[in-house]
Chain A
Amino acid sequence: QLQLQESGPGLMKPSETLSLTCIVSVGSIKNSDYYWGWVRQSPGKGLEWLATIFWIGSTFYNPSLQNRVVISVDTSNNRFSLKLTSVTAADSGTYYCAASGNPYHYGSASFDYWGQGTLVSVSS
């Protein structure tokens, strides 16, 4: 069973760049049975998919954020990251990293495993 753990800055100011990292502590990020993604949840709101990456570097973005977000993978350290530029208060919330079952390997095409989430607050 995969285990994922996010880390982030906690408190930020508007216009800064948010940097998040997800360490895959159990399992390999080069496991082709999974894609690796980020989902966020604004306070008291629903879930929003942000971006997904495959270990070889293929990237996929939510069109609503595509010009502000970059996802990357570091296979040497078994982790992947997200950067979100020009943050505002609307970017506050809990950010989750998660592993998607690869449907091309008979996986779920959903998010099988989740980290515990990291809370980000944007305030001046």
Chain B
Amino acid sequence: DIVLTQTPLSSPVTLGQPASISCYASQSPVHSDGNTYLSWLQQRPGHPPRLLIYKVSERFSGVPDRFSGTGAGTQFTLKISKVEVEDVGTYYCMQAARFPRLTFGGGTKLEIE
């Protein structure tokens, strides 16, 4: 199974400043169809997770454009261009190279300084 490791575990950020979260895969999460099914989800306190980014860089419907995803191979990054109060929560990467079997990263907690 592909193991996803996220860094940092916790990220204090300043409102209005950018933030970046990394996700490292033990092997490339490339599916047999050639697509890289690496996604990012946000979980605000007390809420279910919410899909932000799929297939590395595709923004899901309704997601603000301050969220972006990049990466290839085994290294992936979620970036928030200007952090807002509502962005506080835990962020998870997820891979589905053997969809529908999938694994999650351990999560990164985003906190406001």
Contacts and interface: CB of A to CB of B under 8 A. Distances in A.
Q: Is B one of A's binding partners?
A: yes
Interface of A: 35, 37, 39, 46-49, 52, 54, 60, 62-63, 96, 100-101, 103-104, 108-112, 114-117
A100 B54 CA distance: 11
Contacts of B102: 49, 109
B96 A109 contact: yes
Interface of B: 1, 31, 33, 35, 37, 39, 41, 43, 48-51, 54-55, 58, 60, 92, 94, 96, 99-107
Contacts of A101: 54
A62 B1 CA distance: 10
Nearest to B90: A46
B104 A46 contact: yes
| Most A C-beta atoms less than 10 A away, residue of B35, B48, B94, B101 | B48
A111 B31 contact: no
A122 to B, nearest CB: 21
A8 to B, nearest CB: 14
B33 to A, nearest CB: 7
Contacts of B104: 46-49
A48 B103 CA distance: 7
A111 B41 contact: yes
B27 to A, nearest CB: 17
Contact of B54 (A52, A62, A109): A109
Nearest to A53: B100
Contact of A109 (B49, B92, B99): B99
Nearest to A101: B54
Contacts of A60: 100-101
B3 to A, nearest CB: 13
